[in-house]
Structure 1
Amino acid sequence: MENIKLFISSVEITNFRTFKKKQIIRFTEGINILVGPNNIGKTTIISAIRLIFDKNKFGLDINDFSKTETKEELKNSSPKITVTVNLQKSNKEGSDSDDLLAIRNWLTDIDNPYKAKITMQFQLPTKYEKAYLDAVKDLDNTDSVWLELEDEFLPKYQRKYFVGESAQPLMDNSLSRFNCQYLPAIRDAEKSMNSGNKYLLNKLLNFFIDYDLKSNEELKKSDIEEKMQKRHKDFQGLAVNLLKNLSPRFKEGKKEMLKYLSQTGATFDGEEPEFNSALNDHDILKEFSLVVKNGESNVPINLNGLGYNNLIYISLVLAELQQSRSNSYFGDNSSIFPFLLIEEPEAHLHPDMQYDFLKFLRNNIKDGTTSETAKQVIITTHSPNITAAASLDDLIVLSKYKSDIKIGYPGKVFNENPKDKKFVERFLDVTRSNLFFTNQIIFIEGLAEQMLIPQFMKANTSGIQNNRISIVNLSGRYFTPFLRMFDTRNNPNTAIYKQVSCLTDLDPIKGDNNISWPPIFQGKPDSINKNIDNIKSLNSSNIAVFSQNEDSGYQPNEGWTFEYQLFMDNTDPQKLIFLDSTIMKYCGAWKKINDVDIKNTSIARISNTFDNNVSKKINDKLKSNLGIDDLSEMTDQKLIKQYLGTMFLNSIKDKGLYAQELSEEISSGKSITVPKYIKECFKWMADKNGL
């Protein structure tokens, strides 16, 4: 079998289902995975390709039009659906005259790599156009026009195919040289394998019988045919003996079975039924069925699990793609381009099996260089397991942005930053891969935010909890590599169009030792979270950053960490304290603090209540900064609250465990004030929803 030279480089879709305006979807050799929210157009793309290549073409009806035309547009001309598929020779392959000959009329460019295209149009023939325009000219609304079209003119619509640069009508059988196998999302694998006289298993058995001869490159063709004829003849000899053994057993029974023939008129004009006593090897193959061998027992395929049956079926489909390419078997009818369309392969598959399945497809195709089966596989999925196992180059991300459907190619945005690409691919696990399927994204720094932000969203009154938002924990400040995938200003043709916000702590840094500086110490820090400026410098309208800075209503040098700000933004911060020694330190001191009238106390009283190394360090630093020796007269409410916030942060033994406890409390009804910068984030996301 020759290596396959062609692949689908792009598909152009106009006025078909989800796509009103012409939408171009670009593909690569090998595996392509279409991802995105529900009803975004993934199945529309698969169906558009099937309209041209699937031998089991489906019919088109009124609902296959995008139906977004205005009344004026519908009265100017009858609507039509257009799908164009562009093909290209693989850059990894040499020239191939057989391929070129088969699609010579499709060519748009004969240079290396050569290019070709085919267009399908579903339209009303020209001779009926005037009748259509007369019928709809006085109708009042679009619904009336569509109803008239469906009743009177849709039956007259025709599907036409045009090829090449000059869009000449397709007049030969070149389309039959493309083998498109389609696996729907909900499939009956058992039925597909075993129904009908030409079912998949039987087709494969007839091809792969005597495969040791058919695939033997050392034998001449005449020698192969001679040996196969001998095997056929030998089997027929065995079959004759078998039938000779069976025939006597039917001698009397046959008379009884057929005794009513003359009475019913079945023996009219000397004709009468007879049992066929000839049997060849292909007749026997029709009776073969698959079983699953388990030790000494064989389990019928219908008793096998749905997931395993789907994998078996897919493996047989790939085998069929392989045999369809055999020039010695099919001659000029062999496939020059077999490819596979799979919708939601995760159906019935355990997550581990989803990963193994994708790995198998990738190893099988190997970018088309040595593939024995499909040149190209196009998959739709809702599974984060599959996207997590895929490379960024495999992914094609569909999203809705400002009422338009946008196509993103995350692997292509890193052309200038290959290190960031590798970093993101390593970082994308099942939970983070969910970002490809939602409308909006909030990137956060850590586990505490991951547990508490969803609770804050429920407590928020903006309705943001209904916006299908993915909260992605980056486990640090690795915003920029991820944001490249969504940077629509710098990568307008490849970026993923989604609204993305970043929540990051201010974390001011003081001095040369890179220590985060508490706001209570007042001194101007040397640096404040450079990530904020880096994100802002992207200047992309769909990306925003929120922190405890002036943009979110904080005073200069007021913000610090997430937990600190949670304490500072709550009007009664003591309610955040859980007096549980497993999650909080200084429980005894906090019990006493709860009894203190904060408005009528001093820094010294607060410090003496805690009386530990942390409070003493704060005392010493405050005395130095303020130039005083005694804090007993220091009653500034802002400083006292900052003191308590600093002690609160230092009291938390485990931020994740504390966040979990607080999350459960909020879920159970605890009232809490959402920090201002997080409220600003929610407001921005709510305002941008639907854009």
Structure 2
Amino acid sequence: MHIAFLMEKIMYLSRVEIENFRIYGQDSEKLSLELRAGINLIAGENNSGKSALMDALRLALGTRDHETVRVTPYDFHIKSGKAAQKFTIRCTFTDLDEDEAAAFVEWLNIERLDGTVTCSLTVTLEARRKDEKECTGRFDKPITLEWKAGPDIEGRVFDGSARESLRTTYLKPLRDAEQELSAKRGSRLSQIFSKHPAFEFQDDKTDSASLSGIMHLANTQLRGHDVLKSRVDDLNSQYLQNLTLGDDPLSARINIAPVSLRGILERLALSVADEELEDVRHGLGLDNLLFIATEFLLLQGPQAPLRLALIEEPEAHLHPQLQLRLVEFLEAQLSGANAKPVQVLLTSHSPNLTSKVDLENVTLMRRGQAFSLAAKCTRLTPGDYEHLRYFLDATKSNLFFARGVLIVEGPAENLLLPALAEALGRSLSRHGVSVVNVGHIGLFRYSTIFQRNSGPNMDVRVATLTDRDIPPDEAKVPLDGLTPLVKPDSKTLTGYTADEITKRIASRTKHEGGPVRAYVSPEWTLEYDLAFHGFALHLFVACELAQQKGALTHAECEALLPDIVGRYKAAWKSHGPPRASRAQWACFAYAPLTRTTSKTAAAYYLAWLFKRGFDQHKRAGTEGAYTTKLARKLPAYLVEAIFYTTRLPQPPAAAPVAGSV
């Protein structure tokens, strides 16, 4: 029988299954997570299961620093007020090389696939608990742990050196790196250095090049120092001699350091090198990087059977640029340029880290469920992945941590939606909703991230908002007599058949599915639709403010409002309905945005106007009536998208389109 050994790879943790441990239940509620040989980034909001995953791995595998991880009754999953009687944590390792297979030969799973035989190792930790009344004696433990491994369901006891060889490197969140690298008994630094084979013969006192020899020589030289020797002689002759009992002299001698290797290493401290500020304490961030690099020094040693690092919140104490450099450092550890690559499992709340790691290496955690973004799991195409590798930056990666996502194609929506949501009494921040502006390219590439090929949908509400982009006929004949809003040969509303309009809307909604819903403006663009639905005054004022020189303060805006509103009323008296249709008047208010006015600036002042109106009603205690009226008056697609992503019942039916408010 020929077994295929993958000599160029590493034995890596390929699958984790957790049942009835903390947030993870059983059946559909248990965790089943596939991991990659390189970087695996677990992202998600608080209490989604990230730390539970890390603690489960620490329990099942143990850690290099031999930290004690105790199982308590609270670790057993509780459902309907009843705690589970047992939990299991199952870890599967694949890509074993010949030496690794030999080390675990009696526990291997051997499978035949396409004429090739491969082997893997599955280790299971099973914890059982008893109620206090079930314990029969003082030595009857309420919680028992048992490790097993093997090809069959029952497995064999897995303990001793085999278990020891699977211990993993673990870096806890908000770690005190300075304390970890300081000199002390049992320090982490001494553990890392002592396990390197280069220190194997450093305990030889007779070798002047060994650490022990160097420290022995230092002790000898210090004892001969005139001042020290004189003081010790005085201590011996004047004091200790008088305390001697019988013929056994009591005397002292100077020692500055132990001469055993362990004692020497425990006296060492590691710090950031800085010749100019040698004695100055450095920031937590640099110490954190130093600590991470030191741990990888141990992982690259030939005595590291399992090269797996568990790192919680690696962004701790690091500013954004250093976070990106950290990811580049970790990627370098996977390249094979060192002795062997390292598998890394990260948990993070950082959009910077998430945007830097390849999308296929990211897993989203939601309420105890894991959703891998690997190609086989999502509906993303190869082209989508290529696009997102370039354009999924930190400003967009906040979607990985949101309960709801509004994906928009311009800065106007990005600025306006939070203000509109607050005015509707549906604060986006309060409901955990992110607005992601992706520009006019790839709107649906981002929403497809949340759509699965199979299995349950993510518990994330995703709404895409896009313009219908069909100008009204009135855009060619402006009320103000100035340049038309569209080119004379542009296709406007009456140039479209009903079937063409249906197909246009269908093209903007075809990517709906799962948690993703698409919302299309009913007329032309966001700003035009606002004016058409009765907010022409808002748009007129926003455009006038946007044309002022420089950025205005709110006080300056307030001072300009009476004059701008007066000019609007005068224009309304001359041209407004019924002299002009709603579409003509909406075009009049929208016209500056098609000519010289900045859409972004106008959107900023529009957002201020909506917030101003809401604040005024809030001070008067009439915000409830205001939000209800607003929900009925705004373009329905905006209101529905906000209500959907904030997980609230659908808004009241929209009122008939009215005049300006």
SS of aligned partner of 1:341: strand
Whether 1:289 aligns to 2:295 is: no
| Unmatched tracts of structure 1, length 5 or more | 136-150, 215-220, 327-333, 550-558, 608-633
- Which structure 2 residues correspond to residues 257-296 of structure 1 after superposition, within 5 A? 258=240, 261=243, 275=253, 280=259, 282=261, 284-296=264-276
- Which structure 2 residues correspond to residues 629-648 of structure 1 after superposition, within 5 A? 635=579, 637-645=581-589, 647=591
Q: Partner of 2:401 in structure 1?
A: 437
SS of aligned partner of 1:668: helix
Q: Partner of 1:613 in structure 2?
A: none
Give the deviation of 1:322 after TM superposition.
Answer: 2.5
Instruction: Work out the CA distance in 1 between the residues paired with 2:583 and 2:218.
Output: 100
Q: 1:156 to 1:272 in 2, by over 3 A?
A: farther
| Unmatched tracts of structure 2, length 5 or more | 1-6, 474-486, 550-560, 617-629, 650-661
Q: 1:464 to 1:192 in 2, by over 3 A?
A: closer
Q: Partner of 2:77 in structure 1?
A: 66
SS of aligned partner of 2:79: coil
Q: Partner of 1:459 in structure 2?
A: 423
| Match of residue 481, structure 1, among 424, 445, 458 | 445
- Which structure 2 residues correspond to residues 514-525 of structure 1 after superposition, within 5 A? 517-519=491-493, 524=497
- Which structure 2 residues correspond to residues 79-118 of structure 1 after superposition, within 5 A? 79-89=85-95, 95-96=97-98, 98-111=99-112, 112-118=117-123
Whether 1:298 aligns to 2:278 is: yes
Give the deviation of 1:113 after TM superposition.
Answer: 3.9
Say if 1:583 and 1:653, in contact at 8 Å, map to a contact too.
Answer: yes
Give the deviation of 1:177 after TM superposition.
Answer: 1.0
Which one-letter code corresponds to 1:681 in the other structure? A
Q: 1:385 to 1:581 in 2, by over 3 A?
A: closer
- Which structure 2 residues correspond to residues 25-64 of structure 1 after superposition, within 5 A? 25-53=33-61, 54=63, 55-64=66-75
Q: 1:170 to 1:337 in 2, by over 3 A?
A: same
Q: Partner of 1:498 in structure 2?
A: 460
| Match of residue 514, structure 2, among 530, 541, 544 | 541
Instruction: Work out the CA distance in 1 between the residues paired with 2:272 and 2:514.
Output: 56
Q: Partner of 2:353 in structure 1?
A: 386
Which one-letter code corresponds to 2:143 in the other structure? Y
Which one-letter code corresponds to 1:363 in the other structure? A
SS of aligned partner of 1:158: strand
Q: Partner of 2:149 in structure 1?
A: 163
- Which structure 2 residues correspond to residues 170-319 of structure 1 after superposition, within 5 A? 170-206=158-194, 231-232=209-210, 235=214, 238-239=217-218, 241-242=220-221, 245-246=224-225, 248-249=229-230, 250-256=232-238, 258=240, 261=243, 275=253, 280=259, 282=261, 284-296=264-276, 298-299=278-279, 303-319=281-297
SS of aligned partner of 1:187: coil
Q: Deviations over 1:405-444 (max 9, x none)?
A: 3423255456872111110121111110000001111111
SS of aligned partner of 1:197: coil
Instruction: Work out the CA distance in 2 between the residues paired with 1:120 and 1:338.
Output: 20
Say if 2:527 and 2:539, in contact at 8 Å, map to a contact too.
Answer: no
Say if 1:17 and 1:44, in contact at 8 Å, map to a contact too.
Answer: yes
Q: Deviations over 1:192-237 (max 9, x none)?
A: 11253332333445566968xx9xxxxxx9xx99999574497588
Say if 2:542 and 2:603, in contact at 8 Å, map to a contact too.
Answer: no
Q: Partner of 2:555 in structure 1?
A: none
SS of aligned partner of 1:443: strand
Instruction: Work out the CA distance in 2 between the residues paired with 1:517 and 1:364.
Output: 56
Q: 1:481 to 1:535 in 2, by over 3 A?
A: same
Instruction: Work out the CA distance in 2 between the residues paired with 1:101 and 1:39.
Output: 40
Which one-letter code corresponds to 1:654 in the other structure? S
Give the deviation of 1:289 after TM superposition.
Answer: 3.0
Give the deviation of 1:473 after TM superposition.
Answer: 0.4
Say if 1:452 and 1:659, in contact at 8 Å, map to a contact too.
Answer: yes
Give the deviation of 1:574 after TM superposition.
Answer: 6.0
Q: Which moved more, 1:303-312 or 1:172-181?
A: 172-181
Give the deviation of 1:544 after TM superposition.
Answer: 0.8
SS of aligned partner of 2:387: helix
SS of aligned partner of 1:508: coil
Say if 1:396 and 1:408, in contact at 8 Å, map to a contact too.
Answer: yes
SS of aligned partner of 2:390: helix
Which one-letter code corresponds to 2:366 in the other structure? S
Say if 1:510 and 1:526, in contact at 8 Å, map to a contact too.
Answer: no
Q: Percent identity?
A: 22
Q: Which moved more, 1:103-112 or 1:334-343?
A: 103-112
The answer to which structure has the higher helix fraction is 1
| Match of residue 300, structure 2, among 322, 331, 347 | 322
Q: 1:168 to 1:388 in 2, by over 3 A?
A: same
| Match of residue 13, structure 1, among 13, 18, 21 | 18
Q: Partner of 2:607 in structure 1?
A: 663
Q: Partner of 2:3 in structure 1?
A: none
Aligned-residue Cα RMSD (Å) equals 4.2
Give the deviation of 1:165 after TM superposition.
Answer: 2.2
Give the deviation of 1:172 after TM superposition.
Answer: 3.8
SS of aligned partner of 1:116: strand
Q: 1:446 to 1:424 in 2, by over 3 A?
A: same
Instruction: Work out the CA distance in 2 between the residues paired with 1:659 and 1:471.
Output: 15
SS of aligned partner of 2:123: strand
Q: Partner of 1:469 in structure 2?
A: 433
Say if 2:530 and 2:634, in contact at 8 Å, map to a contact too.
Answer: yes
Which one-letter code corresponds to 1:197 in the other structure? R
Q: 1:472 to 1:465 in 2, by over 3 A?
A: same
SS of aligned partner of 1:25: strand
Say if 1:413 and 1:495, in contact at 8 Å, map to a contact too.
Answer: no
Q: 1:29 to 1:397 in 2, by over 3 A?
A: same
Give the deviation of 1:446 after TM superposition.
Answer: 0.1
Whether 1:351 aligns to 2:328 is: no
Q: Which moved more, 1:22-31 or 1:334-343?
A: 334-343
Give the deviation of 1:158 after TM superposition.
Answer: 1.0
Say if 1:485 and 1:496, in contact at 8 Å, map to a contact too.
Answer: no
Say if 2:87 and 2:127, in contact at 8 Å, map to a contact too.
Answer: yes
Q: Partner of 2:569 in structure 1?
A: 594
Give the deviation of 1:478 after TM superposition.
Answer: 1.9
SS of aligned partner of 2:332: helix
Q: Deviations over 1:30-77 (max 9, x none)?
A: 111110111000011111100022232311112212212555xx6xxx
SS of aligned partner of 2:68: coil
Say if 1:105 and 1:164, in contact at 8 Å, map to a contact too.
Answer: yes
Give the deviation of 1:238 after TM superposition.
Answer: 3.9
Which one-letter code corresponds to 1:26 in the other structure? E
SS of aligned partner of 1:466: coil
Which one-letter code corresponds to 1:382 in the other structure? H
Instruction: Work out the CA distance in 2 between the residues paired with 1:648 and 1:156.
Output: 75
Q: 1:11 to 1:535 in 2, by over 3 A?
A: farther
Q: Partner of 1:339 in structure 2?
A: 308
Q: 1:516 to 1:378 in 2, by over 3 A?
A: farther
Instruction: Work out the CA distance in 2 between the residues paired with 1:589 and 1:242.
Output: 89
Give the deviation of 1:515 after TM superposition.
Answer: 7.6
Instruction: Work out the CA distance in 1 between the residues paired with 2:350 and 2:241.
Output: 62
